Amino acid sequence: MLNLRETQKAMLTKHIKEGSAVADFTMGNGNDTLWLSNQVGVTGKVFAFDIQEAALANTKSLLEKEGCFENYTLIRESHHLLKEYIDCPLDAGIFNLGFLPGGDKALTTLRSTTLPAIEAAISLIKPGGCLMIAIYPGHEEGRLEGELICETLSGYDQKHLSAYRFNVLNAATSPYFIYVEINEKYKGGNR
């Protein structure tokens, strides 16, 4: 069976190199933050966001335990405010939506902040860069969040970006991901 997480990483790898600037917009327990840190190396930059103190503590502990490069900034803030913290164009970004693994399932990402965060992230991604968005439709907010994201991304002009959805066709509530690639020739302007 295809491993969606490994597929995501393989797709991201072509956009990330030593010295890249990247973001984990939903740091959770820090696994994506750690992976990104290792990909961009000592000269790269990783911005990681979460609203939960437990997520920051778990991530910081993981990064220290793994002897991670000190190339990251952990931000306890909603991802929709990302432009207040990111001061450079990004090569790639990751959204892993839903709730903190092992945390309170009542605390989940919400359409009201996720969509503005994705739109802000798209505006910061360099031409030729990408976003990876993991969606979990097994709970009501996740289903609604996914529908809104798909609807919004399908409205972008292909001159700006291409958005692809990867899912298991015969498992309606299984997680899926959306891969967004900014057109290399995109110069800005209307979506």
pTM attached to this predicted model: 0.94
Domains, the chain: 1-108+120-129+167-191 (3.40.50.150)
pLDDT of residue 189: 55
Q: What is the pLDDT along the chain (191 residues), one digit of tens a residue?
A: 778 888 999 999 999 999 999 999 999 999 999 999 999 999 999 999 999 999 999 999 999 999 999 999 999 999 999 999 999 999 999 999 998 788 888 889 999 999 999 999 999 999 999 999 999 999 999 999 999 999 999 999 999 999 999 998 998 899 999 999 999 887 665 55
Inter-residue contact 171 to 190 (CB < 8 Å): no
pLDDT at 141: 93
